[in-house]
Structure 1
Amino acid sequence: MMIALMAVYLILLFAIVRLGIVRFNLFWKTSPFIVLLLLNLGLFIPMGWGAPQGPALVVRNAVSIVPDVAGEVAEVPVVANTPLKAGDVLFRIDPTPYQAQVKTIEAQLKLSSTRLSQMTQLFERDAGRGFDVEQRQSEVDQLKGQLEAAHWNLDKTTVRAPADGYVTNLALRKGARVANLPLSPVMAFIDTSGTIIGVEINQIDARYVEPGQEVEVTFKFAPGQIHKGKVESVLQAIATGQTQTSGTAVMPKAIEAAPFVVRIKLDDAEVARNLPAGSAGTAAIYTDHMKPTHVIRRVILRQIAIVNYVNPF
């Protein structure tokens, strides 16, 4: 934009000198440098404060699917990269051993319940001990708890989608053996129920950014288009400002002003939902300061949107 404004000024300067309107003296010779300085001090530097711009990225939460029970995979009906609803079946584990466990506990519970009933009748007739009744009641309660756990295990042989989304990089096949170990996920599930869009803003330009401010963003995935939104929050921590418990002393390192991350939300939820994870673009945030510079920022962003048709970087 600065190049365009300077080009316009130089053309006008050439025209008025050529037409003899002004004499090309020392003042007019140095005027391009004066105009360049004024543009920087009066427009482009304040524009960074009042309408900061930065790269934007679409990210989604990924869930590592780990089954709650172990066993042999009996069926994988899901197709990779196909939209799923919460509760749709991802895969099934052979339920045979868990069904057998349920039947075994049910048989034991039936026998213990019968004995409890008999002991209770004897106690009511003063022909039995109260201790025997309590002991049988304890057995019944324990078996009921075991039966509930067995039913839970049987239900968990069917693994379902935790939210709306899709499975990616699917390698699981029928006959594979899976285990309920947290370090052994069997597939990656991409949650599309919520879209996270982050914008990196230089620290010197982030002072006036607040939730609720207007945002415009253009993506490489959709060149030529401008999407409107709002600032959701300014993340209060970045990795360079994080400390973790360790057994080592402080390790000095070069301190750099890493950009802050601003989370935004698009007004059109359908557009946000259809953006692939990893979509990159450029966003501009319009704060309550330096409002005259907002016009220039809007023009610059639209220039970027048009250039996205040919610029892959």
Structure 2
Amino acid sequence: MIVVLLNVYLVILFCLVKFGVVRFNLFWKISPVIVFILLLVGLFIPMGWGAPQGKALTVRNSVAIVPDVAGEVIEVPITANTPLKTGDVLFKIDPVPFQAKVDALQAKLDLAQLRVSETTRLKTTGAGRTFDVEQSQAEAEQLRAELGSAKWNLDKTVVRAPADGYVTNLALRKGARVATLPLSPVMAFIDTSDTIIGIEVPQIHARYIEPGQPAEATFKFAPGKIYQGKVESILQAVAAGQARVSGNAVAPEAIQSVPIVVRIKLDDSDFAARLPAGSTGTAAIFTDHVKAAHVIRKVLLRQVAITNYINPF
């Protein structure tokens, strides 16, 4: 962009000299260098923190699906990469052993409740002890709690979608046996209810960024288009600054100036929902400083949007 502005100045200078408006003396000969320095120092360098720009990445939360009960899978009614709603069935586990457990506990509870009524009746007639009544009541309460747990396990034989989204890389099939091991998820569920768009901004340009500031973004997925948005938050930590729990002494590493990540939210929520996870692009944030550079940044961002038609990188 600075080259374009400098060329515009050269054309104007040529016309002024050609028509005799100015004399082509030493000052006008070195004026392009002066204009270049003024543009660089007065506009383009401050534009970095007045309207910072960086790479954008679309991220979606991935939920590792681990069943709450173990057993044999009897049905997998979903298809990979097909949109699902919250509560849709992902797969079903054979409920027979869990139903049998519920029936057995229900029978024991019925018997325990009958014993409670009998011991209570005997106590009221003076032929029974208070201890027998209390013991039978405790047994009934214990069976009632076990029955509630068994019904919960039975309900968990049907595994449902935790949110709106889809299952990717689906390998689970009928007849497979699943376990409740947290390190062995049976499928990955991609949550599409919330679209996370992060921008990497160099630390030297992030000083004036605040939540609520306007932003614009263009994506490789939709070349030639600009989408408006706002800054949601500035992530206050990156991996390089994270202290990890360890029994070892500090192990110094080479310190690098990694970018700060800024999260934005697009105004077009429908387009944001259609963005595939991993979609990349370029975004700019317009702060309250160096507002004269905002127009230049908007032009540059639209140039990037146009080049996205042919630039795959």
| TM-score greater than 0.5 by the shorter chain | yes
SS at match of 1:262: strand
Distance 1:188 1:99 in 2: 28
Tell me which residue corresponds to 1:282.
Answer: 282
Instruction: Please give the per-residue CA displacement for 1:186-226, whole angstroms capped at 9, x wherever unaligned.
Output: 00000011111111111111111111111111111011111
- TM-superposed deviation, 1:6: 2.3
Partner of 1:205: 205
TM-score between both structures, scaled by the size of structure 2 = 0.96
2:91 counterpart SS class:
strand
| Corresponding residue number in structure 1 for 2:310 | 310
State the alpha-carbon separation in 2 of the partners of residues 90 and 80 from structure 1: 10
CA–CA distance in structure 2, aligned partners of residues 101 and 289 of structure 1: 68
Q: CA deviation at 1:111?
A: 1.1
User: 1:210-249 residue pairs with structure 2 within 5 A?
Assistant: 210-249=210-249
User: How far did residue 5 of structure 1 move?
Assistant: 1.7
| 1:61-80 aligned within 5 A | 61-80=61-80
The separation in 1 between residues aligned to 2:213 and 2:221, in whole angstroms, is 24
| Equivalent runs, 1:18-167 vs 2, <5 Å | 22=22, 24-167=24-167
AA at the equivalent of 1:40: L
Give the count of matched residue pairs: 313
**What is the rounded CA distance, in whole Å, between the counterparts of 1:6 and 1:71 in structure 2?**
72
Percent identity, aligned pairs only, is 68
Segment drifting more, 87-96 vs 33-42: 33-42
Q: Which residue of 1 aligns with 2:178?
A: 178
- The residue type equivalent to 2:235 in the other structure is L
Tell me which moved more, 81-90 or 3-12. 3-12
CA distance in 2, matches of 1:248, 1:19: 77
Deviations 1:138-193 (A, max 9, x none): 11001001100010000000000000000000000000010011001000000011
Q: How far apart in 2 are the matches of 1:147 and 1:214?
A: 56
**Aligned with 2:111: secondary structure?**
helix
Alpha-carbon separation, structure 2, partners of 1:24 and 1:62: 66
Q: Secondary structure at the match of 1:311?
A: coil
3-state DSSP of counterpart to 1:117 = helix
Q: Distance in 2 between matches of 1:67 and 1:93?
A: 9
TM-superposed deviation, 1:14: 4.3
- Shift of the alpha carbon at 1:9? 2.8
> How far apart are residue 8 of structure 1 and its match?
2.4
Paired with 2:41 and 2:140, the residues of 1 have a C-alpha distance of 83
CA shift digits 1:80-139 (9 cap, x unpaired): 000000000000001111011111111111111111111110011110011111111111
